[in-house]
Structure 1
Amino acid sequence: MNDAARAAVLGALRERRSIRKYTDEPVADDEVRAVLEAGRWAPSGKNNQPWRFLAVRRGEPRQEALARHTKYAHIVRGAGALVCVFLERARMYDARKDHQGAGACLQNMLLAAHALGLGAVWIGEIVNREPEVVAAVGVDPEAYEMMAVIALGRPAQEGSSDRIPLESLMLEPF
């Protein structure tokens, strides 16, 4: 990797923010596909790639169905598109490692959205009502475990975030 590419990747990691408000401008299908492709390339234990995606366009009945099952309904309703991320139970081999892989998949998608100039946020709270959510979007709960929903859209706000100093995160000095 050359210096420019390295700087771009490291910069994207520091610059990406969770965006919860979106304009009415649509998100193009090819942009959603690029976000999905980024998720597809995430690392997974034994390369089992257990994630499965359900993309929901703005205005589809499933958008409102998702909104009814989260305290973040305003984010879901305002999104230009949503990506529901599931794990296919038959592809899983170790719950902890597969859940970690799903996190990497979600992060890849968030970084792709950022690179495309989209705003995005990882909605994890929605899994608190997983049975109702899975039924509402028409997915088989015996076959799939819900991990999260990513809301996508054209940003209508700037993101902000603070980070704990690295020294405070270290168990011992490096």
Structure 2
Amino acid sequence: MIESNTPLLRALRERRSIRKFTDEPVRREEILTILEAGRWAPSGLNNQPWRFLVITADDPRREKLAECTKYAHVVRQSAALICVTLQKDAMYSAMKDHQGAGACIQNMLLAAHDLGLGAVWLGQIINDQEAALSAADIPSDEQELQAVIALGRPAQDGSSSRKDLSDLMLEEF
């Protein structure tokens, strides 16, 4: 394996899910930069079906969303939440569009990391689509919630481990 210390490959190795945040706010420009990173994710036929809703700490919908997940403490501590949805009438292939949403979310997590922010992909919240969409005032007939990204200034160091690459290979090449 080639050892590379390029900024991109370093960010891929160093990005961690952060679930504890300080009280310091996140600037609007930082959130826009994160959204812009998501906007540039690949999508099938370049349909870009994702849509974003930003919910800040002073928005009453934050508490309503907290009630929709077992990670309520993360939602309540965050400086901002980004709801990532797929616009149903912009979708053309469920699998490809869901994959694109995942790429979009990963781009945003990497952008948050690059800006020195902490972020975590909250996926459990989508287990009750109707409740989460209702809490965020997002029309369920138009949008499908993919995740909520909680972000803020990190109040913890993240940690992670990975399986050996050989354990992930279906066969040697």
**Scaled by the length of structure 2, what TM-score is found?**
0.96
Number of residue pairs matched by the alignment: 170
Partner of residue 96, structure 1? 95
Question: Partners in 2 of 1:59 and 1:125 — Cα distance?
Answer: 23
Question: Partners in 1 of 2:80 and 2:131 — Cα distance?
Answer: 20
> Where do 4+ consecutive residues of structure 1 move more than 2 Å?
none
Question: Partners in 1 of 2:137 and 2:9 — Cα distance?
Answer: 38
Q: What do you get for the CA RMSD once the two structures are aligned?
A: 1.0
Q: For each residue in 1:120-171, what CA deviation from the matched residue of structure 2 results, as whole angstroms up to 9, or x when unmatched?
A: 0000000011101111111110100000000000000000000000010000
What amino acid is the match of 2:76?
A: R
Segments of structure 1 that go 5 or more residues without pairing to the other structure are none
Question: Partners in 2 of 1:100 and 1:82 — Cα distance?
Answer: 21
Question: Partners in 1 of 2:58 and 2:68 — Cα distance?
Answer: 17
Segments of structure 2 that go 5 or more residues without pairing to the other structure are none
Question: Partners in 2 of 1:79 and 1:138 — Cα distance?
Answer: 19
Offset of residue 43 of structure 1: 0.2
Question: Partners in 1 of 2:94 and 2:164 — Cα distance?
Answer: 31
Question: Where do 1:39-78 residues align within 5 Å?
Answer: 39-78=38-77
Q: % of aligned pairs identical?
A: 61
Q: For each residue in 1:57-83, what CA deviation from the matched residue of structure 2 results, as whole angstroms up to 9, or x when unmatched?
A: 112101101101100000000001000
Q: Does 1:133 align with 2:96?
A: no
